[in-house]
Amino acid sequence: MVRRPVHAPATNKTRLPAGFFVSGSGERPRCGSRSLENAAQRTYFAPMTTYLDVTATTPRTRTGAIKLHGPDAFAGMRRAGRIAAETLDALVPLVKPGVSTGDLDDFARDAIVAAGAVPINIGYQGYRHASCISVNHVVCHGIPGDKALSEGDILNIDLTAVVDGWHGDTSRMFLVGDVPLKAKRLVDVTYECLMLGVEAAVPGNRLGDIGHAIQRHAEKHRYSVVRDFVGHGVGLVYHDEPDVHHYGRPGTGPELRPGMIFTIEPMINIGKPGVKILDDDWTAVTRDRSLSAQFEHSIGITETGPEIFTQSPKGLNHPPYR
């Protein structure tokens, strides 16, 4: 996921008319800006969602438009998504008390390479690992290392495999041995949130319908939705338009059209939604140290509904994985 970008939709807090966008302070920080603290000093402009039919000559960069992809893109995303999902499948038996997150990352890197794909997170924005492994109160972007997993931990493993330039980006939660019911419930509801978001990804709906479906379900269970990170367009570009917020109002935001390809990756907290970034400049943790969970799929919009590129070939989409 990416930190909320500079050109982020206005929040209710800023009391802007719905659909208005806030322009940033100029420079685009590494992963986008974190908040609208200085909203009062910023300028506003009317909403302008543009769509771009991808051809062979379309720039492999963010262009500001939402890309509409053809059959070749869907075929490429299927291959990349499958390798990413198979890598998560292969990690299932390794997640046990005593194993370190660094060991899991080494395995993930080797598996992606052995499958003929590129572990693109290595070197991305200075990141040095194939996966992000986020344990317990870590929301996302946990850095793999020497720390061993303990019985009762919950963790997210997020990895991306690139095939012929196509990015398959996916993450799942894992449970270490016996996990308290409270944590298992959070994991179950977070998976339900992802899938409710996916089900809302049909042509004619809007992005806000996806966010709303997720938020409604999370808040029904008295959990909170993390605001500081969003899902994203994906394809030949890792983090592309549009930003996919995991909260929202029905009928708002850009219309969903066939050919759109993006991730949905809700981060759901037991406590408050606030996060802070640790001194390593990556690790995001809940401010109140409450548990956080996340699942991610890369999907494409077709005439008849969503296609999930990162389904588990082994049916291991969510725990328990026995």
Q: Is 185 exposed, middle or buried (0-12, 13-18, 19+ CB in 10 A)?
A: middle
Should residue 205 be labelled a site residue for ligand MF3 when binding is judged by CB under 6 A? no
User: Which 3 state secondary structure label does DSSP give 109?
Assistant: helix
Should residue 158 be labelled a site residue for Co ion when binding is judged by CB under 5 A? yes
Nearer to Co ion, 33 or 263 (CB): 263
Q: Which stretch binds ligand MF3 (CB under 6 A): 16-24, 46-54, 98-106, 119-127?
A: 119-127
Q: What is the distance of C-alpha 86 from the center of its chain?
A: 18
Q: Which stretch binds Co ion (CB under 5 A): 88-96, 151-159, 212-220, 283-291?
A: 151-159
CB of 172 to ligand MF3, least distance (A): 12
Q: Report what 132 binds from Co ion, ligand MF3, none; CB cut-off 5-8 Å by kind.
A: ligand MF3
Tokens 């899938």 label which residue?
Answer: 195
Nearer to ligand MF3, 50 or 125 (CB): 125
CB of 289 to ligand MF3, least distance (A): 21
Cα–Cα dist 98/286, whole Å: 24
Cα–Cα dist 73/259, whole Å: 9
Residues contacting ligand MF3: total by CB under 6 A? 12
Cα–Cα dist 76/309, whole Å: 10
CB of 309 to Co ion, least distance (A): 12
DSSP assignment letter at 36 = -
Cβ neighbours of residue 322 closer than 8 Å, sequence gap 6 or more: none
Should residue 240 be labelled a site residue for ligand MF3 when binding is judged by CB under 6 A? no
Q: Report what 283 binds from Co ion, ligand MF3, none; CB cut-off 5-8 Å by kind.
A: none
Q: Using CA of residue 21, residue 23, residue 29, residue 34, what is the dihedral sign?
A: negative
Nearer to Co ion, 22 or 256 (CB): 256
User: Footprint of Co ion on this chain (CB under 5 A)?
Assistant: 1, 158, 169, 263, 296
